[in-house]
């Protein structure tokens, strides 16, 4: 069965930040929406790539050797094992993520207060 999701409607069902919401499944991947504001800890995902697609707002992705600034309509794929830190310091950012279902938002490090299991929204 096909699944149609209206992204704006999905975003209207939550306001918390740094807490991804699953809106669809694609084989062994989750399609997630999240709201970001402020900065997130440095982390890496040793076994999985991660894709950020910016829907609204400005996101800075810091890497150990460079920085990428992302605007609405832009996406970036972070290869597995690459340390990164998302920073949303210009207000809220709405992001669509595509990640393996096993990915934890804080990566391979120990769990912190920012570690959140993705909740199913749809």
- CA dist 22 and 13 (Å) reads 12
Q: What is the mean pLDDT of residues 19-23?
A: 95
Question: In this structure, are strands 67-70 and 119-120 parallel, antiparallel, or unpaired?
Answer: unpaired
Residue 11 lies in a domain: yes
Taking only the tens place, the pLDDT of each residue in 23-57 is: 999 999 999 999 999 999 999 999 999 999 999 99
pTM over 0.75: yes
- CA dist 14 and 34 (Å) reads 9
Output the pLDDT for position 102.
87
Backbone Cα Rg of the chain: 14
Residue 111 lies in a domain: yes
* Domain housing 42: 7-120
Residue 97 lies in a domain: yes
Is 70 exceeded by the pLDDT of residue 60?
yes
For residue 14, CA distances in Å to 1, 74, 108 come to 26, 23, 26
Is 90 exceeded by the pLDDT of residue 107?
no
Is 70 exceeded by the pLDDT of residue 1?
no
Residue 2 lies in a domain: no
């Amino acid at each position: 069965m096909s699944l149609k999701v209206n992204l704006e409607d999905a975003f209207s069902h939550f306001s918390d930040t740094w807490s991804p919401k699953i809106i669809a499944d694609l084989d062994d991947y989750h399609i997630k929406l999240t709201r970001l504001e402020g900065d997130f800890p440095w982390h890496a995902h040793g076994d999985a790539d991660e894709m950020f697609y910016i829907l609204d707002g400005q996101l800075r992705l810091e890497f150990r050797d460079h920085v990428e600034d992302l605007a609405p309509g832009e996406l970036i794929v972070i290869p597995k094992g690459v340390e990164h830190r998302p920073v949303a310091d210009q207000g809220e950012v709405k992001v669509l993520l595509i990640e393996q279902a096993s990915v934890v938002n804080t990566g391979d490090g120990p769990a912190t207060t920012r570690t959140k299991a993705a909740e199913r929204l749809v």
